[in-house]
Amino acid sequence: MATPTVKFTKLFINGEFVDSVSGKTFETVDPRTEEVIAEIAEATKEDVDIAVKAAREAFDCGPWPRMPGAERAKIMLKWAQLIEQNVEEIAALDTIDGGKLFSWCKAVDVPEACNILRYYAGAADKIHGNVFKTSRDLHLYSLMEPVGVVGHIIPWNFPTVMFFAKVAPALAAGCTMVIKPAEQTPLSALFYAHLAKLGGIPDGVLNVVPGFGSTAGAAISSHMDIDAVSFTGSTETGRKIMQAAALSNLKPVSLELGGKSPVLIFDDADIDKAVDLALFGILHNKGEICVAFSRVFVQEGIYDEFEKRVVEKAKTWVVGDPFDPKVQQGPQTSKAQFDKILSYIDHGKSEGATLLTGGKPVGNKGYYIEPTIFTNVKKEMLIEQEEIFGPVMTLSKFKTIDDAIKKANSSKYGLAAGIVTKNLDIANTVSRSIRAGIIWINCFFAFDIDCPFGGYKMSGFGRDYGLEALHKYLQVKSVATPI
């Protein structure tokens, strides 16, 4: 696949590609080469204001919230079709922008965007309220109405899936929106805006404002005329967004935040399968996954053998150009992320953990890092507590089921957890005892759009996916009339 041409580099507001008010631009960089791919118009507060005005006008006076759900669905389905016709090009954009494996983007992420659109298109004409039987002489019923103008703030690790996980249910609900992709990966979002227009989404309904968190992002979360914010990103930023929402118009927020997910591998596990699962769990998407199995706990009976085999296999992991189909791990998304991961690795070494393999950059160009495994890790160490968001596993032993549960829960996060065992009793007991939003038994990264996804504890609240996500973008109005 040849490097794609970048066609869309301006803000998308009110159905048009426009320059930013300030004329400012920012660079987006190819993490394989460290070269600039494109200069992107940079949205600041003024641009967000213009985008919100367009979205408000489209919400208050435009056809989108008023049209029958089936009509909205038709347009969403058309958009999905157009995306399908451009799968290769969009997948390549996410690869050059974020270092993601091209084969994965093409086979999974972009098709998933279409699936998400189709799922919520199917729900758009099934939104209804209730009629209440009362003891009074009243006709009393409720309506489900779109929440209004929504702000979506998106991270860089899954630019496509995160975009649609937020945009599709909001569209189905009849909302209009302002979307801020991450500054590291704005390219596919702008392409999607172009296809949305071709698909028939009316002007002003969907606005895309690439820019930085502290300016464009903050302008969205503190905006007095945005009715709700849906955010995916770090816990630290989630806190700022919630604060900004509280200090402005008290808009509801939903926060999909960070994780430090454990996987518990029991003595009865097939060791080779468990090794594959643990490595996929931490190295998929170069560890830049909120649900990554970054803490691996292995029961003492198989620990030594597991450690030997996981290290051997990690050493064979293929790191390189994400367009190469043989490659298993591409570059980290940005220089900042690359530096952050290496600094965590230094911390691990200086805190006294044992480095079993990896720990260094790969090559001298691009943001590549070796698959890295630490053992002799203590609970208090930074590498055991903080989300590294890179290809860094910590490996520890446990004795009993209770010990495993205690270790799994010993984190401020609660996004995901894994259990590897053939014993159903263990799987059921442990899955009920771990405080996390999703539990994977003998698997990793298994999702379905119909199944809600989100965190416990400091991994946030609110759910993407499923009908629960649709309800984030709806509000209930009760209507009473005497009879």
List contacts with ligand NAD (CB under 6 A): 153-158, 180, 182-183, 212-214, 217-218, 221, 232-234, 237, 240-241, 256-259, 290, 387, 389, 415, 455, 459
Q: Which residue, judged by CB position, is nearest to ligand NAD in the bound state?
A: 213
37 and 28 Cβ atoms separated by less than 8 Å: yes
Q: Would you tell me the crossing angle of helices 300-315 and 271-283 to the nearest 10 degrees? A: 60
Q: Which C-beta is closer to ligand NAD: that of 13 or that of 290? A: 290
Q: In whole angstroms, what is the distance from residue 185 CA to residue 350 CA? A: 33
Long-range contacts of 124-127 (CB under 8 A, 24+ apart): 124/69, 124/70, 124/72, 124/73, 124/76, 124/171, 124/172, 124/173, 124/174, 125/68, 125/69, 125/70, 125/72, 125/73, 126/69, 127/69, 127/172, 127/173, 127/174, 127/470, 127/474
The Cα–Cα gap between 42 and 57 comes to: 23
Task: Give the closest residue to 435 by CA, choosing from 399, 466, 410, 453.
Answer: 410
CB 253 within 8 A of CB 231: yes
Tell me the closest approach of the beta carbon of residue 280 to ligand NAD, in angstroms: 17
Cα-Cα-Cα-Cα dihedral sign, residues 159, 163, 164, 165: positive
CB nearer to ligand NAD: pick between 59 and 389: 389
Burial of 331 (0-12, 13-18, 19+ CB in 10 A): buried
Which CB, 240 or 407, lies closer to ligand NAD? 240
Beta-carbon contacts of residue 303 (< 8 Å; ≥ 6 apart): 397
| Rounded CA separation 82/64 (Å) | 20
Nearest 5 degrees, angle CA 204-CA 142-CA 137? 145
C-beta of 185 vs 329, nearer to ligand NAD: 185
The residue among 62 and 437 lying less far from ligand NAD, judged by its C-beta, is 437
Q: Using CB atoms within 10 A of its CB, is residue 312 exposed (0-12), middle (13-18) or buried (19+)?
A: exposed
The minimum distance between CB 440 and ligand NAD, in angstroms, equals 15
Looking at the Cβ atoms of 250 and 483, the one nearer to ligand NAD is: 250
468 is an active site residue: no
Of residues 112, 183, 256, 384, which has the active-site annotation? 256
DSSP three-state, residue 225: coil
**Annotated active-site residue in 105, 114, 175, 290:** 290
Task: State the residue for tokens 């894994």.
Answer: 418
Closest distance to ligand NAD from the beta carbon of 250 (Å): 17
Contacts of 272 (CB under 8 A, 6+ apart): 309
Q: Are strands 293-299 and 392-398 parallel, antiparallel or unpaired?
A: parallel
347's CB contacts (< 8 A; 6+ apart) are 381, 382, 383
Is residue 61 annotated as a catalytic residue, yes or no? Answer: no
| Least distance from ligand NAD to the Cβ atom of residue 465, Å | 10
Least distance CB 235 / ligand NAD (angstroms): 6
For helices 187-199 and 87-98, the axis angle rounded to 10 degrees is 160
Residue where the block lists tokens 């949205």? 43
CB of 328 to ligand NAD, least distance (A): 20
Distance CA 451, CA 466 (A): 5
User: Which among 453, 467, 471 is positioned nearest to 416, based on CA atoms?
Assistant: 453
Phi, psi of 130 (to 5 degrees): -130, 160
Q: For the CB of residue 452, give the shortest distance to ligand NAD in the complex, in Å.
A: 11
- Judge contact between 97 and 159, C-beta under 8 A: yes
State in angstroms the smallest separation of the CB of 232 from ligand NAD. Answer: 5
CB of 255 to ligand NAD, least distance (A): 8
Would you name the residues annotated as active-site residues?
A: 256, 290
